[in-house]
A = this chain, B = another copy of it.
């Protein structure tokens, strides 16, 4: 084993501590706590877990958490009017609608109804465009967290070759824009890419966000590269076990011998997502308050 393990858990804890300081200062200066509204429609068990964790960390950070639990059969119109109320509510700085939504609701329509200045998930097209055009906006949490991890390993990535595997709206594309804004030469690769291994071997920074367990092998990695593994995949359980192991998109045991720095799964990008949600909420709160 040669690579530095990028400790996402510790870095996320540092971000949360910073957010708690910022939250305290905001509350002292403004006479109210920064507030995050989380909307959960239905009772998907995984979503319940995520939302509970967001609510808990929001409160621990010293912010107001506004929970909105709606039944699975909530109409799109009712959800839209809740979003409109939250847009207008001065005590709400950030709005997060937990995805996925039930099938009868058009997620795109809901996301586009959120005031872009309160869109702490960074999913509104206006925020995507602001990121692409180099304007101030809110950046999606997982890409922002991934970028912070890259910079923890290489403070200046100017001129380095970055390869992003996966071109999702949630992760791959915004990560590509963040790397480009930091002056990397960025290649967006995906399922149609010819000779992925050769392409990856040229990457000083490799971000894997495809959702395919251990797809990236050790011999795909350039010696010394920074590897950010966004994938969280659960393998089939081994005999006698109830749950399978969690693995990333990178074959960690192989990659760790070649890379210069690498994120583990779990404990890499995962904890960064919520930490960046708290950070985004405070960013939104400060901007809305005009500072």
B residues less than 8 Å from A180 (CB atoms): 167, 173, 188, 190
Q: Which residue of B lies closest to A191 (CB)?
A: B183
Q: How many residues of chain A have a CB within 8 Å of chain B?
A: 36
| Bound-complex Cα distance A55 to B188 (A) | 39
- Give residues 127-176 of A contacting B (CB, 8 Å): 127-135, 137, 158-161, 167, 169, 173, 176
Number of copies of this chain that the complex holds: 2
Q: Check if B135 sits within 8 Å of A194, measured CB to CB.
A: no
Q: Do A159 and B192 touch across chains, with their CB atoms under 8 A apart?
A: yes
Residue contact A190 to B199, C-beta cutoff 8 Å? no
Residue pair A159, B125 in contact (C-beta under 8 Å):
no
* A185 interfacial contact with B, CB 8 Å: yes
Which B residues touch A161, using CB under 8 A? 194
Q: Does A291 contact B (CB under 8 A)?
A: no
Say if the beta carbon of A186 comes within 8 Å of chain B. Answer: yes
A-B CB proximity, top 4 nearest: A129-B129, A128-B129, A125-B129, A187-B187
26 pairs, A vs B, C-beta closer than 8 Å: A124-B129, A125-B129, A125-B130, A125-B132, A125-B137, A127-B129, A128-B132, A129-B129, A129-B130, A132-B132, A132-B177, A158-B192, A159-B193, A160-B194, A167-B180, A180-B190, A184-B192, A185-B188, A185-B189, A185-B190, A185-B192, A185-B193, A185-B199, A186-B187, A187-B187, A187-B188
